[in-house]
Amino acid sequence: MPKDQYRETDVARKISHVTFGVESAESMQQQSHIHVVAKNLYNQDIQRTPVPYGVLDKRLGTNSKESPCQTCGKNINECVGHFGYIDLELPVFHVGYFRSIISILQTICKKCGHVLLDECFYNTLVITHFSNQALDHLKTRKRFSSTFKRKTGKISRKSIRKTC
């Protein structure tokens, strides 16, 4: 299934909605053109040609003006590029989210999965920060996270839920 390059038309169109999500592994494999397995970028010859089934394989798109793409045959201006996939042995985590994830996990009960805050405080956070439709989403998120950090940094024994 080749990917088509977006071309503007003179017809005005209205966007009804935009959705974001995570593709399944099977769907990504079906949409990709090659399975990337080689760890080297280039062969050790004089021309330094890209390794087949590597991340610089010519079937993923061309990177020079002289050679066409080996998948679609188009030049560098017309080829939109093609997908490849890599099978990873272990999960990969984004290091920028470690602190946030750890702080969130520390506020969740390991037995039952409930938030470790008393009902009054939890309801106050939800009602004041998520029920106000007039607030912008980013402002709401920022206010919620700052209040949550401020309150969770000073959690007393009485604010922690004891029923699991």
Whole-model pTM above 0.75? Answer: no
Please report whether residue 37 resides in a domain. yes
pLDDT at 90 over 70: yes
| Domain end (from 92, 115, 141) | 92
Which domain, by its residues, includes 149? 95-159
Residues 59 and 105 occupy one common structural domain: no
Please report whether residue 49 resides in a domain. yes
Residues 83 and 101 occupy one common structural domain: no
CB-based contacts of 108-117 (< 8 A; 24+ apart in sequence)? 109/161, 109/164, 111/164, 112/164, 114/161, 114/164, 115/161, 116/155, 116/160, 116/161, 117/151, 117/152, 117/155, 117/159, 117/160, 117/161
| Domain end (from 67, 92, 117) | 92
- Count of domains observed in the chain: 2
Please report whether residue 155 resides in a domain. yes
Please report whether residue 12 resides in a domain. no
Per-residue confidence band for 159, with pLDDT thresholds at 50, 70 and 90? very low
Per-residue confidence band for 64, with pLDDT thresholds at 50, 70 and 90? confident
pLDDT given at position 82: 92
Please report whether residue 125 resides in a domain. yes
Residues 56 and 78 occupy one common structural domain: yes
Residues 114 and 154 occupy one common structural domain: yes
Q: What is the DSSP string of 72-87?
A: T---TTT-----EE--
Cα separation, 23 vs 52, in Å, equals 26
Please report whether residue 9 resides in a domain. no
Residues 76 and 110 occupy one common structural domain: no
Residues 84 and 24 occupy one common structural domain: yes
Quick: pLDDT tens for 96-127.
888 888 887 887 888 888 777 766 766 666 66
Residues 87 and 24 occupy one common structural domain: yes
Residues 85 and 99 occupy one common structural domain: no
pLDDT given at position 53: 93
55 phi, psi to nearest 5 deg: -70, -15
| Domain end (from 46, 74, 92) | 92
Specify the CATH number for the domain of residue 40.
Answer: 4.10.860.120
Q: What is the DSSP string of 3-72?
A: PPPP---SS-------------HHHHHHH-SEE-----SB-SSTT-PBPTTSTT-GGG---SSSSPPTTT
Write out the two tokens for 68.
């066409």
